[in-house]
Chains A and B, each alone.
Chain A
């Protein structure tokens, strides 16, 4: 068997695959964060909590209500999106005119409440979640074994990221969204319901986080802490990529997942801090972020 820098190739590829999967989740979350920031000027600290909520909703629908995996995958983002509408309409909406810091603190409070509630009700231990039968098993690629479910996660996340990017950059709806980012009052004057658009944007992005949670459920166990551990990494991703560009957010997320995977292969002790080290380097070299448009 061939080696690369003393690491067997299948092991390396396996870690790269894991890195790509983590990267896919970072991409789904940082995409949502970037859009919410662009439209609402809010850093949504609760994004990780909604990801966790997605995991739990999927777990509940599957194991308690007996809904199949595929229906669960469709229903979960809707439920989480509804929760997002509630948060936006009841709380966030009132803070748009204030300093950004207040909406950050508000969503931090929402994150704490959700995490605290689920920890109280379900305990800290993870809930197992079965891989759907259609996607169990794997493919033997000759040089490595590719579990079907992992391949599915990467494909579907990338597809969703790509579709979202196309909708925002290439369609009329996306045009309205981008226009409302630049000048909301002018867009409103053209007869477009901007507040509704903001609510739906928030709901969509939060639903995306919920979808990621449901997608992650069979890979990692569903636990109350899953949101807070991912959101900090996603913040680092967003700092590295800069929030000006959606494409940039996706590319950065995948690249960092891969870097994390590689660190795990070559120097496992540093894998949990690899992303943060990259962040520090980027801040030192290019303070505004790699794909930034901000001043």
Chain B
């Protein structure tokens, strides 16, 4: 991923390209060496939310659909992956696949229902649909109610690498997240991705060009749900826990904040946002301050002061200076 690919509108100067390449190598080496510096489990959490936020950004930032129900895919995928690994004794890869498949199917169904309405109705419908998943998670016997599914076995990667080793788990999640981000990056830069952006800008015109916006939106929504489920599944296995926290509407709100804070419609934005929000919560958890209150405050500040997000504002500033 280099800087020039992120902003196709910019002229691809050699300088920007090399800066991007250097940054990419820098970030990659930091990520590879990170377990030596801090708790791997904390890094795993960041990585899972990075993928979740990036997947969410695919619908909000590129297709212009505000989903208030992505927790259903993230948390739902987590439950299925945990159940698959613990009760069905499936190997690591298949457990993750089961969680992702569940999220894909639910995403397709929810998407097919919700895209029948536009704008804020879409947000309200996705919220209500996700709440159904929450109530199911509370009531169904296999989810363990308030306790969730605990002590999920991590298993072995490809039957060889023992994932009880936390460093091995970290590198596995790093690989999974990188794979997810590459899929998103490829999608956004494909003709499909450009059509999505066009739908966000002017749906009527896209229809008049003979394309079917509904179909594009549904595919994007399903892909986003699948990747969210993938992130949730990895989190459940790595943390050996699937719980109600991940399916609440607070979680749907949190991923919106990550995307908004980082900068929606940019590839780097959600990555920055997720890192900041997870870091903030990590810090707040021990401070005794009310987390929900501060998350709400961040929301208001983002909406009122910088709607482009941290990375979006930076990009805007650089573009203006170049012009």
State the A residues within 8 Å of B (CB): 43, 91, 94-95, 98, 100-102, 104-106, 108-117, 119-120, 228, 232-233, 235-236, 238-239, 269, 272-273, 275-277, 279-280, 283-284, 287-288
The residue on A at minimum CB distance from B293 is A116
In the assembled complex, B117 has its CB within 8 A of some CB on chain A: yes
Contact A91 B249 (CB under 8 A): no
Q: Nearest chain B CB to A89's CB is how many angstroms away?
A: 13
Q: Nearest chain A CB to B19's CB is how many angstroms away?
A: 32
In the assembled complex, B103 has its CB within 8 A of some CB on chain A: no
Contact A104 B123 (CB under 8 A): yes
Contact A112 B253 (CB under 8 A): yes
State the B residues within 8 Å of A (CB): 66, 113-114, 116-117, 119-121, 123-125, 127-129, 131-132, 135-136, 138-139, 249-250, 253, 256, 260, 290-300, 302-304, 307
User: Which of B124, B250, B296, B304 meets A43, CB within 8 Å?
Assistant: B124
User: Which of B116, B124, B136, B139 meets A236, CB within 8 Å?
Assistant: B124
User: Which of B124, B292, B303 meets A105, CB within 8 Å?
Assistant: B303
On whether A102 and B120 interact (CB within 8 A), knowing A111-B296, A235-B127, the answer reads no
Contact A239 B113 (CB under 8 A): no
Contact B291 A283 (CB under 8 A): no
Number of A-B contacts (CB under 8 A): 117
A102 to B250, CA, bound (A): 17
User: Which of B138, B294, B307 meets A116, CB within 8 Å?
Assistant: B294
A238 to B120, CA, bound (A): 11
The interface residues of chain A lying within 8 Å CB-to-CB of B119 are 100-101
Contact B297 A113 (CB under 8 A): yes
Contact A110 B113 (CB under 8 A): no
A199 to B119, CA, bound (A): 24
The interface residues of chain B lying within 8 Å CB-to-CB of A116 are 290-296
A119 to B184, CA, bound (A): 38
The interface residues of chain B lying within 8 Å CB-to-CB of A279 are 125, 128
The interface residues of chain B lying within 8 Å CB-to-CB of A284 are 113, 116
A269 to B132, CA, bound (A): 12
A235 to B117, CA, bound (A): 14
A273 to B299, CA, bound (A): 29
On whether A113 and B121 interact (CB within 8 A), knowing A91-B304, A276-B132, the answer reads no
The residue on A at minimum CB distance from B121 is A239
Closest 7 CB pairs of A and B: A109-B299, A116-B292, A112-B296, A116-B293, A113-B296, A120-B290, A109-B300
Q: Nearest chain A CB to B304's CB is how many angstroms away?
A: 6
Contact B123 A283 (CB under 8 A): no
The interface residues of chain A lying within 8 Å CB-to-CB of B297 are 109, 113
On whether A232 and B128 interact (CB within 8 A), knowing A101-B119, A105-B303, A269-B139, the answer reads yes
The interface residues of chain A lying within 8 Å CB-to-CB of B114 are 283
On whether A113 and B117 interact (CB within 8 A), knowing A269-B139, A276-B129, the answer reads no
The interface residues of chain B lying within 8 Å CB-to-CB of A269 are 139
